[in-house]
Protein backbone atom coordinates (compact mmCIF):
# COMPACT_ATOMS: atom_id res chain seq x y z
CA UNK A 1 0.00 0.00 0.00
CA UNK A 2 2.62 2.47 0.95
CA UNK A 3 4.59 2.02 -2.23
CA UNK A 4 1.48 3.00 -4.15
CA UNK A 5 1.31 6.26 -2.23
CA UNK A 6 5.01 6.95 -2.71
CA UNK A 7 4.77 6.31 -6.45
CA UNK A 8 1.72 8.58 -6.65
CA UNK A 9 3.56 11.30 -4.79
CA UNK A 10 6.87 11.15 -6.68
CA UNK A 11 5.13 10.66 -10.01
CA UNK A 12 2.85 13.61 -9.30
CA UNK A 13 5.84 15.77 -8.44
CA UNK A 14 7.61 14.93 -11.68
CA UNK A 15 4.51 15.35 -13.83
CA UNK A 16 3.30 18.50 -12.17
CA UNK A 17 6.61 20.26 -12.33
CA UNK A 18 7.09 19.19 -15.91
CA UNK A 19 4.64 21.76 -17.22
CA UNK A 20 4.72 24.50 -14.66
CA UNK A 21 5.12 28.22 -14.93
CA UNK A 22 6.45 30.43 -12.20
CA UNK A 23 5.36 33.70 -10.70
CA UNK A 24 7.09 36.85 -11.97
CA UNK A 25 6.30 35.62 -15.50
CA UNK A 26 9.10 33.07 -15.50
CA UNK A 27 7.94 30.24 -17.80
CA UNK A 28 8.92 26.65 -17.25
CA UNK A 29 10.09 26.37 -20.85
CA UNK A 30 12.84 28.84 -19.94
CA UNK A 31 14.08 26.70 -17.07
CA UNK A 32 16.77 24.07 -17.42
CA UNK A 33 17.12 21.01 -15.22
CA UNK A 34 20.15 19.16 -13.99
CA UNK A 35 20.32 15.93 -11.95
CA UNK A 36 20.88 16.93 -8.35
CA UNK A 37 20.97 13.84 -6.11
CA UNK A 38 19.42 10.42 -5.67
CA UNK A 39 17.33 9.72 -2.58
CA UNK A 40 16.25 6.33 -1.26
CA UNK A 41 12.71 6.54 0.12
CA UNK A 42 11.99 3.92 2.78
CA UNK A 43 8.40 3.03 3.65
CA UNK A 44 7.27 1.68 7.02
CA UNK A 45 4.27 -0.09 5.50
CA UNK A 46 6.44 -2.15 3.20
CA UNK A 47 8.95 -2.92 5.97
CA UNK A 48 11.20 -0.04 4.94
CA UNK A 49 11.93 -1.24 1.43
CA UNK A 50 13.59 1.55 -0.56
CA UNK A 51 12.25 3.34 -3.60
CA UNK A 52 14.93 5.41 -5.33
CA UNK A 53 14.10 8.85 -6.71
CA UNK A 54 16.42 11.04 -8.77
CA UNK A 55 16.03 14.65 -7.75
CA UNK A 56 16.54 17.52 -10.20
CA UNK A 57 17.48 21.15 -9.72
CA UNK A 58 15.78 23.95 -11.69
CA UNK A 59 17.77 26.77 -13.31
CA UNK A 60 16.85 30.11 -14.85
CA UNK A 61 19.43 32.21 -16.65
CA UNK A 62 22.05 29.63 -15.63
CA UNK A 63 21.27 30.19 -11.94
CA UNK A 64 19.32 27.96 -9.56
CA UNK A 65 15.82 29.44 -9.40
CA UNK A 66 14.52 30.97 -6.16
CA UNK A 67 10.97 32.29 -5.94
CA UNK A 68 7.29 31.45 -6.05
CA UNK A 69 5.92 28.69 -8.26
CA UNK A 70 2.38 28.44 -9.59
CA UNK A 71 0.85 26.36 -12.36
CA UNK A 72 -2.65 26.22 -13.88
CA UNK A 73 -4.58 23.41 -15.51
CA UNK A 74 -4.47 23.77 -19.32
CA UNK A 75 -7.44 25.75 -20.55
CA UNK A 76 -8.72 26.39 -17.03
CA UNK A 77 -8.28 29.28 -14.64
CA UNK A 78 -7.67 26.73 -11.87
CA UNK A 79 -4.40 26.43 -9.96
CA UNK A 80 -2.81 23.00 -10.27
CA UNK A 81 -0.13 23.59 -7.65
CA UNK A 82 1.70 26.40 -5.92
CA UNK A 83 4.72 26.68 -3.68
CA UNK A 84 8.21 28.06 -3.34
CA UNK A 85 11.62 27.16 -4.69
CA UNK A 86 14.93 27.91 -3.07
CA UNK A 87 18.22 27.40 -4.86
CA UNK A 88 16.42 25.47 -7.61
CA UNK A 89 14.68 23.04 -5.24
CA UNK A 90 11.13 22.91 -3.81
CA UNK A 91 11.10 24.43 -0.32
CA UNK A 92 8.50 25.35 2.27
CA UNK A 93 4.76 24.77 1.97
CA UNK A 94 3.34 23.33 -1.26
CA UNK A 95 -0.28 22.70 -2.19
CA UNK A 96 -1.61 20.62 -5.08
CA UNK A 97 -5.18 20.89 -6.35
CA UNK A 98 -7.68 18.86 -8.33
CA UNK A 99 -9.18 20.50 -11.44
CA UNK A 100 -12.25 21.18 -9.28
CA UNK A 101 -10.13 23.53 -7.18
CA UNK A 102 -10.22 21.26 -4.13
CA UNK A 103 -6.98 20.35 -2.41
CA UNK A 104 -5.34 17.13 -3.59
CA UNK A 105 -2.34 17.12 -1.26
CA UNK A 106 -0.46 19.52 0.95
CA UNK A 107 2.83 19.49 2.77
CA UNK A 108 6.30 20.99 2.90
CA UNK A 109 9.70 20.43 1.33
CA UNK A 110 13.20 20.95 2.60
CA UNK A 111 15.91 21.15 -0.08
CA UNK A 112 13.69 19.35 -2.59
CA UNK A 113 12.64 16.44 -0.36
CA UNK A 114 9.25 16.00 1.27
CA UNK A 115 9.43 16.90 4.94
CA UNK A 116 7.29 16.43 8.01
CA UNK A 117 3.53 15.83 7.59
CA UNK A 118 1.79 15.47 4.20
CA UNK A 119 -2.00 15.27 3.86
CA UNK A 120 -3.54 13.71 0.74
CA UNK A 121 -7.23 13.77 -0.16
CA UNK A 122 -9.80 12.17 -2.43
CA UNK A 123 -11.60 14.42 -4.95
CA UNK A 124 -14.59 14.69 -2.56
CA UNK A 125 -12.22 16.20 0.09
CA UNK A 126 -12.25 13.10 2.29
CA UNK A 127 -8.79 12.20 3.64
CA UNK A 128 -6.84 9.51 1.77
CA UNK A 129 -3.56 9.29 3.67
CA UNK A 130 -1.43 11.13 6.20
CA UNK A 131 2.31 10.59 5.83
CA UNK A 132 5.33 11.74 7.80
CA UNK A 133 8.68 12.20 6.05
CA UNK A 134 12.04 12.34 7.78
CA UNK A 135 15.37 12.89 6.03
CA UNK A 136 18.55 11.24 7.31
CA UNK A 137 21.60 12.04 5.17
CA UNK A 138 20.59 10.76 1.68
CA UNK A 139 17.69 8.58 2.84
CA UNK A 140 14.09 9.75 3.15
CA UNK A 141 11.92 7.73 5.55
CA UNK A 142 8.16 7.75 5.07
CA UNK A 143 5.78 6.65 7.84
CA UNK A 144 2.07 6.31 7.10
CA UNK A 145 0.20 7.73 10.08
CA UNK A 146 -3.26 6.92 8.77
CA UNK A 147 -5.07 5.95 5.56
CA UNK A 148 -8.68 5.66 4.43
CA UNK A 149 -10.69 3.98 1.70
CA UNK A 150 -12.57 6.20 -0.72
CA UNK A 151 -15.82 5.74 1.16
CA UNK A 152 -14.29 6.98 4.40
CA UNK A 153 -13.58 3.66 6.15
CA UNK A 154 -10.06 3.44 7.60
CA UNK A 155 -7.61 1.27 5.66
CA UNK A 156 -4.74 1.81 8.12
CA UNK A 157 -4.37 3.19 11.61
CA UNK A 158 -1.20 3.82 13.58
CA UNK A 159 -0.87 4.26 17.32
CA UNK A 160 2.69 4.30 18.59
CA UNK A 161 4.29 1.08 17.33
CA UNK A 162 0.94 -0.58 16.58
CA UNK A 163 -0.17 -0.73 12.93
CA UNK A 164 -3.56 -2.05 11.85
CA UNK A 165 -4.65 -2.43 8.25
CA UNK A 166 -8.31 -3.08 7.46
CA UNK A 167 -10.40 -4.69 4.75
CA UNK A 168 -13.07 -2.48 3.17
CA UNK A 169 -15.66 -4.23 5.37
CA UNK A 170 -13.89 -2.92 8.48
CA UNK A 171 -12.34 -6.22 9.61
CA UNK A 172 -8.66 -6.48 10.44
CA UNK A 173 -6.35 -7.55 7.62
CA UNK A 174 -3.01 -7.24 9.44
CA UNK A 175 -2.26 -6.32 13.05
CA UNK A 176 1.39 -5.42 13.60
CA UNK A 177 3.29 -4.39 16.71
CA UNK A 178 6.84 -3.08 16.42
CA UNK A 179 9.15 -1.55 13.80
CA UNK A 180 9.82 -3.47 11.67
CA UNK A 181 7.27 -6.25 12.27
CA UNK A 182 8.29 -7.84 15.57
CA UNK A 183 4.85 -9.36 16.01
CA UNK A 184 2.19 -9.67 13.33
CA UNK A 185 -1.18 -11.37 12.88
CA UNK A 186 -2.92 -11.79 9.50
CA UNK A 187 -6.62 -12.45 8.91
CA UNK A 188 -9.06 -13.20 6.11
CA UNK A 189 -11.72 -10.65 5.25
CA UNK A 190 -14.21 -12.67 7.31
CA UNK A 191 -12.04 -12.63 10.43
CA UNK A 192 -10.21 -15.99 10.37
CA UNK A 193 -6.62 -15.89 11.64
CA UNK A 194 -4.33 -17.31 8.93
CA UNK A 195 -0.82 -16.63 10.27
CA UNK A 196 1.10 -15.06 13.09
CA UNK A 197 4.69 -13.95 13.54
CA UNK A 198 6.02 -13.56 17.07
CA UNK A 199 9.01 -14.61 19.15
CA UNK A 200 11.10 -15.05 15.97
CA UNK A 201 8.80 -17.69 14.50
CA UNK A 202 5.89 -17.84 12.10
CA UNK A 203 2.77 -19.95 12.61
CA UNK A 204 0.16 -20.75 9.95
CA UNK A 205 -3.39 -21.80 10.74
CA UNK A 206 -6.38 -23.45 9.15
CA UNK A 207 -10.07 -23.16 10.09
CA UNK A 208 -10.68 -23.15 13.82
CA UNK A 209 -7.14 -21.87 14.37
CA UNK A 210 -5.80 -25.36 13.64
CA UNK A 211 -2.01 -25.18 13.62
CA UNK A 212 -0.71 -26.21 10.17
CA UNK A 213 2.96 -25.32 10.38
CA UNK A 214 5.46 -23.52 12.56
CA UNK A 215 8.62 -21.96 11.12
CA UNK A 216 11.60 -20.77 13.15
CA UNK A 217 14.03 -18.41 11.41
CA UNK A 218 17.30 -19.84 12.62
CA UNK A 219 19.62 -17.64 10.56
CA UNK A 220 19.76 -15.33 13.59
CA UNK A 221 20.81 -16.07 17.14
CA UNK A 222 17.43 -14.88 18.43
CA UNK A 223 15.66 -17.30 16.10
CA UNK A 224 17.81 -20.24 17.20
CA UNK A 225 17.31 -19.39 20.87
CA UNK A 226 13.53 -19.27 20.35
CA UNK A 227 13.62 -22.71 18.71
CA UNK A 228 15.75 -24.27 21.43
CA UNK A 229 13.58 -22.71 24.13
CA UNK A 230 10.43 -24.24 22.63
CA UNK A 231 11.98 -27.53 21.49
CA UNK A 232 14.86 -28.73 23.68
CA UNK A 233 15.21 -32.36 22.56
CA UNK A 234 17.92 -31.79 19.95
CA UNK A 235 21.12 -33.80 19.77
CA UNK A 236 24.47 -32.04 19.71
CA UNK A 237 24.83 -32.74 15.98
CA UNK A 238 21.34 -31.45 15.25
CA UNK A 239 22.14 -28.24 17.08
CA UNK A 240 25.26 -27.80 14.92
CA UNK A 241 23.19 -28.37 11.78
CA UNK A 242 20.55 -25.89 12.92
CA UNK A 243 23.23 -23.28 13.63
CA UNK A 244 23.99 -23.35 9.88
CA UNK A 245 20.36 -23.44 8.73
CA UNK A 246 18.14 -20.62 7.50
CA UNK A 247 14.97 -22.00 9.04
CA UNK A 248 13.40 -25.01 10.72
CA UNK A 249 9.79 -25.94 9.87
CA UNK A 250 7.35 -28.15 11.74
CA UNK A 251 4.47 -29.47 9.60
CA UNK A 252 1.50 -30.62 11.68
CA UNK A 253 -0.24 -33.05 9.32
CA UNK A 254 -0.16 -35.37 12.33
CA UNK A 255 -0.53 -33.03 15.31
CA UNK A 256 1.18 -35.36 17.79
CA UNK A 257 4.10 -36.16 15.48
CA UNK A 258 4.97 -33.17 13.27
CA UNK A 259 7.28 -33.52 10.30
CA UNK A 260 10.47 -31.51 10.81
CA UNK A 261 12.19 -29.84 7.84
CA UNK A 262 15.49 -28.00 8.02
CA UNK A 263 16.34 -25.52 5.25
CA UNK A 264 19.80 -24.32 4.28
CA UNK A 265 20.57 -21.44 1.98
CA UNK A 266 22.40 -21.94 -1.31
Chain-centroid distance of CA 190 in Å reads 25
Q: Is the peptide bond before 180 cis (omega within 30 degrees of 0)?
A: yes
Instruction: Work out the percent of the chain whose per-residue pLDDT is above 70.
Output: 80
User: What mean pLDDT comes out for the span 98-123?
Assistant: 94
Residue 108: what pLDDT?
94
- List all residues 6 or more positions away from 74 whose beta carbon is below 8 Å from its beta carbon: 19
For residue 215, how many C-alpha atoms fall within 13 Å in the half-sphere facing its CB? 14
Residue 181: what pLDDT?
57
Query: What are the pLDDT digits (tens) for 29-64?
Result: 355 677 777 666 666 555 455 566 667 888 878 888
Query: What are the pLDDT digits (tens) for 133-180?
Result: 988 777 888 889 999 999 999 999 999 889 999 999 999 999 999 865
Query: What are the pLDDT digits (tens) for 209-242?
Result: 999 999 999 998 989 999 999 888 888 988 888 9
Of the candidates 171, 146, 168, which has an alpha carbon nearest to the alpha carbon of residue 159? 146
Under 8 Å between Cβ of 185 and 205: no
For residue 192, how many C-alpha atoms fall within 13 Å in the half-sphere facing its CB? 11
- pTM score, two decimals? 0.73
Averaged pLDDT score across all residues of the chain? 82
Asked if pLDDT for residue 76 goes beyond 70, the answer is: yes
Model confidence at 25, pLDDT cuts 50, 70, 90, reads very low
Residue 72: what pLDDT?
84
Distances from the Cα of 97 to the Cα of 25, 67, 92, 141, 239, angstroms: 21, 20, 17, 25, 61
Amino acid sequence: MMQRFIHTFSGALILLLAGCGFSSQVKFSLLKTKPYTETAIWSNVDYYKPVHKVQVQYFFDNKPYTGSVIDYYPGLDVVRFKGEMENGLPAGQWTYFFSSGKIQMQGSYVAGSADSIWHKYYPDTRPMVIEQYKQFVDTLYCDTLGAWYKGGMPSKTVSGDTFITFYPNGKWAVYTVGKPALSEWRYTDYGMLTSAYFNFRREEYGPGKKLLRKIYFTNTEDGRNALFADQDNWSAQQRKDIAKADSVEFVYDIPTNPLVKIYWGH
